[in-house]
Structure 1
Amino acid sequence: MNWFSSLFGKREGDADQGGTASAEIALAPPPPASERGRGLPRFRGMAADQLGVGTRRHDRVRLNLRRAFTPARPIMDPAMLAGRTDLLRTMIRAIEDQYLHLVLFGPRGIGKTSILHVLSGIARESRYLVRYISCGERTSFDPLFRSVMVDIPLLFHARYDPASAEIEEGLSFADLLDESPLTVDRASELFSQVAGTRLLIVLDEFDRAGEADFRQSVAELIKNVSDRGSQVQLVIAGVAQNLTEIITHVPSIRRNILGLRVPNMTQDGIAELISNGQHASGMTFTSKALQLINLTALGLPYLASLVGQHAGFAALDRSSTTIDHADVHRGISQVLAHLDLRIAPDVRQRMEQAIRDGHERTLSRLAQVALANSFLLPRAEIARELNSGSNAGLGNATETLERMSKVYRLITPSVVHVADAYAFVDDGIALYLWVRMISQDAACRDAA
């Protein structure tokens, strides 16, 4: 009997009997069409509910929760921005009073895009012309700044009379361009003619722009419009540890720009974020729930919003609008699974090997250092963390860095201009390890 005959219970040489094998597999009769798929998961609300026209209170609360905590999307509503009042005030004063260009930098998940959207909204309220652009790998100078010119009505050109035929036709600055490539000099010349308003050009995700020529051109444009006293200012943001990572090193523009690093939020800032979400969703966080979210977030608005959202869903799943610490625990478990999927399989394998080899506590402390230092691992901070309080005895900082770098290949020397610092090979490692530690500590406390 070969493997095929063994599998299907039919011996070689057996004749078919009406096409039926000697050993049949009994199948349950198919359910009625109306019952099919009943065991599959379902969306919790109708499409109309998700547009805000639902009638059931539970559905409205769930919809409000999705809008209150948006870890996957930037904040657009100024009322929902938390913990950044002082930073926004500094940015507005630099633009309005000092005529400076701004460069905003910091790690992913720190809230740069949310800050830019809120700043843009505030500027529009004051009748600024605002052009927000998210850069990409193929962003180049000519098409980007042509698109900016399209949004500047010729009404705001210093040399055109408001009653001229060109303005009556609704022409823009783009209509003054020919088909030749737009150069920095030509863009600077046109921007110097902006009058009767002020223009903000907001370039987000600037670190993604792969062309070195584009970055150099933007730096030259900043210098030119500043030297000509133009009513045009640039606000640039990107993932970076310092100013020079974002803007090509041009010493002559230092006096024209203000570099602002977006720091981790304070505990009060995270509490404000949760309070905003509480009011917007109609749900209530207990004090213990708030404390646990604050501990988990480590000042990162992305993490606070992610945990807050999942904790809210956990409460709604038990038909409650009060979020307690048990809901946060369940939310953290969901976040942990979410973060796990973001780590590349080969990196996850090396991380799990290090954990099996007894280095989980050390890795967790390294993660804490990274999250508190814009995802950097300064050697001095590592030494302080590994030899303080309950962490004493975790090992020498140099040996730890060597082991995690050479043996497990989980960290690497930092490529940025920060002396004697390392970084995880994947930012997701630090987030995962930290949330994992919080989850395990919470489980241990519950068991006790």
Structure 2
Amino acid sequence: MHLNTHLDVDLVAIEADDEVTALIEFTAPELNSKEPRPDATVQVVLDRSGSMHGERLEAARLALIALVDRLAPTDRFGLVAFDDTVEVVVPAGPLTNKTAVKDAIRSVHSGGMTNLSAGLLRGLQEARRVAGPTGATVLLVSDGHANAGIVDHDQLSGVAASAHTHGVTTSTIGIGLDYDERLLASVAGGGQGGHAFAEDGDAAGAAVAGEVAGLLSKTVQAASLIIRPEASVDSVTIWHDLPTNPIDGGIMVELGDLWAGEHRKLVIGLKVPAKVALGLARIAAVELRYVAVPELTEHTLTTELHVNVVPGDQAAGRIPNPVVQQELLYQQTQDAKRRAADALADGDVAGAQATLDIAGAALAAAPACSVELDDEAQILRSLREQTAFAPGTAAKTMWMEHSRKNRKRGRD
């Protein structure tokens, strides 16, 4: 792993309060072609409720068959299907008989209501039962709303978060325009996985393939970032929707697993009270902890954040780092997408449009733009148009954008 930090400003005026933004970057190692890939554990939880009948369920079956073909015989695979009841279609275990597993997948047919919580809980049980040293991934595929069993978003997110403490990552794929995007995004957030929106069967297959491709190239697991601000720092802002926990002297941010070569970015803000002495001043220590795969060895990387306290006239001439400023604006744009998606889910189209307009104006007013920010401006314009004639599509797209660009910033 490589760890780098950048500040938007490294000069602060003496006897003046200030705020500093830090960009923290870390890159996972590439796969070692000489090392055998560790066995993977993939547990699929498939919605087979009545709304999945036809093309959606057929596309899901084909995607799972392709997944089985891609896995090695020593990898562990399981399939739980749910409607208002739960069936363990394929007990989780090594793929010693792929033909039988694929026949079992083809046998899944649509049924009744959507007891998502029962399916998720059973899938998590199966994943924990067979998880290897590198943990397990649960892939929840659904096209509907939870209308039986536990339906509370926070509860279901908490279930996924609890499983993650035992090495189980939960990712979600929503199919079509009728599923509850806030629910699936919340479950993925709690489970430290990704969330994808698949408008049709082909997109669902691609989403399954992409998630598994990442799983099979995992080189880091259980990564966390600890930020220990100096006692004089008033507050720390994490510009990412990631699980955070207070610890002695700081904050711990859970980063989850990283795929080979993944270059992740994290933006934090630190409020620095007035300094009374000139010279170099430390404002925070940063510690990255992770477990390397496949050797399963623990590693720790550390660095420190410093500012130079200078006279006010010298600080007045400072030039902020445009790379850090642009990354902060990028994350503020992702936050705007999340807030706009929430507004659409509540039926507030005008509120969603206003949020997107404000974010677009901030991008237009940026002193220096990048290709990424130009792309974001175009995305906001497209989403703004969609809110008028396809609010469901816009909301789901925004949740997927937020999951990929905020929670997993840097993951391809």
User: Which TM-score tier does this pair reach, normalised by the shorter chain?
Assistant: under 0.3
Query: Which has a greater percent of helix?
Result: 1
**TM-score for both structures, normalised by structure 1:** 0.25
Normalized per residue, the structure richer in strand is 2
Higher relative contact order (CA 8 A, sep 6+): 2
